């Protein structure tokens, strides 16, 4: 297709019927009608526990299985057995860090980055403290705004047990070369745990080509409900110690999923994947759900990134604005459409509040990228003003936002 079907896309999102401009997407996207409908239907048609002989329980079983298979299609997994679904990405990472860390101790090393969200930093820091492990910090390269293999290589050795890194930054938007970094880490026998929360709303994560061992994301960042998703190699999920009750499932996917599953939210997770499949079909893709999702991402990226460049160009034209991230149009493919700025003369929290009063939703602060704020020399409390696009945003919304900021910053 030569034109992205923005009107049809926006019609899927009830929240867009109101006049607000949703540019708070890195913190959570809006939900299409089919997701809210699926959640609602599950509360009436499948409000039962799993494993029963009656219809409502069997409906819940089907929802559970479908959600795991849909997430495998979304992430490139071989089957739903490689998918663990839980309360949040952060909670799943804390849980998996404890399971993996039971076999590690003094003399073992972990690598965390100065670019990650705290959800992929603090679990490993706590683990290292508890187990007497050594933490090595991997810096962001200020020239490229990414984590570079040349900066990782000196930190790796035979004692490295795990590298934790993000696919894309929730502050700068930079996309890391995960496949190259994974290859390096695995060459010394280390596991690789990837936070893809900020990438998955914008791009197709293919775990097979990335070469990582675990990849986590959040459904509410890609048009679904509030649940965390963890892909893991099935052998690792099977072998790794599970903190679970004695009568819990011993095999994945249930092995690391504690308690009764949130059936209604699982229905929403599958519906979010179906929405992306619908978008892929609408924009010319066909085939399996995974193929149609890949087509949706391709079409959405082709639409989103010119909007991101429009936003970057508009912001840079405002005197005193600094964009904290990649701005070169030739490097646009190395970022997602999350754009963060600072201005020496204005507090980011005050700007966010003023924009909110005009119906423009953005975020301010460190946004849990605490180490990155420190690395960039930013005020930890004020951080950045973060403007994040999704494929339901429009050029007109970008123009309004830039104009509003321009007026605020010139006073």
Domain residue extents for the chain: 6-33+289-409, 37-273
What are residue 141's phi and psi, to 5 degrees?
Answer: -80, 115
Q: Give 6-33+289-409's CATH code, choosing from 3.30.70.20, 3.50.50.60, 3.90.1150.10, 3.20.20.80.
A: 3.90.1150.10
pLDDT string in tens for the chain (411-residue length): 469 999 999 999 999 999 999 999 999 999 999 999 999 999 999 999 999 999 999 999 999 999 999 999 999 999 999 999 999 999 999 999 999 999 999 999 999 999 999 999 999 999 999 999 999 999 999 999 999 999 999 999 999 999 999 999 999 999 999 999 999 999 999 999 999 999 999 999 999 999 999 999 999 999 999 999 999 999 999 999 999 999 999 999 999 999 999 999 999 999 999 999 999 999 999 999 999 999 999 999 999 999 999 999 999 999 999 999 999 999 999 999 999 999 999 999 999 999 999 999 999 999 999 999 999 999 999 999 999 999 999 999 999 999 999 999 987
Strand boundaries in 180-328, DSSP class E? 191-195, 214-218, 228-232, 321-323
Q: Does an H or E element contain 388, and which?
A: strand 384-388
What's the mean pLDDT when you consider all of the chain? 97
Q: Residue 411 has what pLDDT?
A: 72
Q: Residue 397 has what pLDDT?
A: 98
Asked if 198 and 169 count as a contact pair (C-beta separation under 8 A), the reply is yes
CA distance 254 to 257: 5
Task: Specify the CATH class of 37-273 in words.
Answer: alpha beta
Find, among 335, 275, 345, the residue nearest to 305 by Cα. Answer: 335
Q: What tens digit of pLDDT does each residue of 189-214 get?
A: 999 999 999 999 999 999 999 999 99
Q: Residue 137: how many CB atoms within 10 A of its CB?
A: 12
Q: Residue 410 has what pLDDT?
A: 83
């Amino acid at each position: 297709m030569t034109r992205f079907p923005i009107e049809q896309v926006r019609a899927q999102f009830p929240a867009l019927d109101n006049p607000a401009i949703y540019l708070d997407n890195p913190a959570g996207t809006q939900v299409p009608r089919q997701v809210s409908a699926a959640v609602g239907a599950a509360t009436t048609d499948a409000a039962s526990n799993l494993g029963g002989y009656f219809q409502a329980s069997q409906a819940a079983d089907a929802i559970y299985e479908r959600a795991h298979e849909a997430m495998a299609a979304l992430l490139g997994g071989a089957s739903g057995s490689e998918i663990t679904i839980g309360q949040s990405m952060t909670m799943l990472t804390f849980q998996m860090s404890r399971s993996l860390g039971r076999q590690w101790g003094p003399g073992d090393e972990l690598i965390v980055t100065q670019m990650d969200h705290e959800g992929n930093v603090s679990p490993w820091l706590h683990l290292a403290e508890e187990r007497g492990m050594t933490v090595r910090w991997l810096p962001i390269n200020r020239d490229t705004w990414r984590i570079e293999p040349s900066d990782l290589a000196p930190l790796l050795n035979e004692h490295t047990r795990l590298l934790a890194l993000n696919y894309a930054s929730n502050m700068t938007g930079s996309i890391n070369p995960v496949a190259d970094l994974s290859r390096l880490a695995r060459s010394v026998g280390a596991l690789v745990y990837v936070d893809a929360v900020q990438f998955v709303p914008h791009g197709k994560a293919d775990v097979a080509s990335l070469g990582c061992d675990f990849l986590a994301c959040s459904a509410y960042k890609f048009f679904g409900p509030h649940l965390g998703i963890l892909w893991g190699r099935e052998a690792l999920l099977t072998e790794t110690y599970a903190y679970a009750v004695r009568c819990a499932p011993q095999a994945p996917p249930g092995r690391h999923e504690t308690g009764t599953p949130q059936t209604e939210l699982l229905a929403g997770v599958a519906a979010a994947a179906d929405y992306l499949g619908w978008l892929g079909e609408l924009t010319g893709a066909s085939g399996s759900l995974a193929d149609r999702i890949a087509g949706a991402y391709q079409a959405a990226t082709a639409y989103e990134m010119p909007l991101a460049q429009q936003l970057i160009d508009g912001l840079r034209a405002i005197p005193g604005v600094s964009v904290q991230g990649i701005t070169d149009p030739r490097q646009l493919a190395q970022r997602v459409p999350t754009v963060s700025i600072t201005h020496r003369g204005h507090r980011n929290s005050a700007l966010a509040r003023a924009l909110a009063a005009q119906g423009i939703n953005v975020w301010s602060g460190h946004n849990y990228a605490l180490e990155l704020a420190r690395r960039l020399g930013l005020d930890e409390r004020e951080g950045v003003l973060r403007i994040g696009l999704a494929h339901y945003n429009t050029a007109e919304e970008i123009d309004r936002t830039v104009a509003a900021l321009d007026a605020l910053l010139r006073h």
